[in-house]
Amino acid sequence: MDILKNIVKFILYIIRLCIFLLIIISICCLFQRYILNREYATIFGFTFFQIQTGSMSKTIEINDIIIVEITKDVEVDDIITFITDDQIITHRVISENGNLLTTKGDANNTKDKPIERKQVIGKVVKIFHQIGIWIKVFADWKVLICITVTGTFIIMILSTKKNNTKEKKRHSLKKGLQNWRNYMSKNKEK
């Protein structure tokens, strides 16, 4: 039973740590986006985006989350994220000519107009498939209320069991002390 309690404690600790880190990252991102008015937030030289279109289908799908390393050092065949016409786009570099890069979405039939290297945000280093759906689900206030209520009930149940165990131990300690006193008083009489 103690092993199970330790496992539950460890899992709860990991969940709390993850939630804490997500809150810190969210606050940093919100600060950068809305206070500093940046087009995208960066954390330790990386940023992330949610894919909105199917232009990179079969490689990157709609609702995938991509992690982008902030860099201008990109090569042919890299998947990059760049800004053009006030839009953030993620496509593959198909050719480079000095400072100009030509890109194309894997699912598109035509090339994009060439961009300058200074328009590049960075290179895609990781793709998390279909994470965007979960973000939408957990961003819904109804889901958040259900999770909060359920979590509160679980914590209350676990703390009630913990308090009951402490009460039982305290009660058994009192009973043990009383028995010892009774025993000692009987031995004194003899």
DSSP annotation string for 18-38: HHHHHHHHHHHHHIIIIIS--
Task: Kindly list the domain boundaries of the chain, sorted by start residue.
Answer: 1-38, 41-139, 140-190
Residuewise pLDDT in 10s, the chain (190 residues): 678 778 888 888 898 888 888 788 888 888 888 888 888 888 899 998 989 999 999 899 998 999 999 999 999 999 999 999 889 999 999 999 988 999 999 999 999 999 999 999 999 999 998 877 776 766 677 777 888 888 788 877 776 655 555 555 556 666 776 776 777 677 665 5
> Which residues in 172-188 are b (16+ Cβ under 10 Å) and which e?
eeeeeeeeeeeeeeeee
**HSE (CB half, 13 Å, CA atoms) of 167?**
6
Q: What is the pTM of this model?
A: 0.64
CATH annotation of 41-139: 2.10.109.10
DSSP alpha helix (H) spans, the chain: 2-30, 131-139, 141-189
Asked if 51 contacts 128 with a C-beta cutoff of 8 angstroms, the reply is no
The radius of gyration of the chain from alpha carbons, rounded to an integer in Å, stands at 29
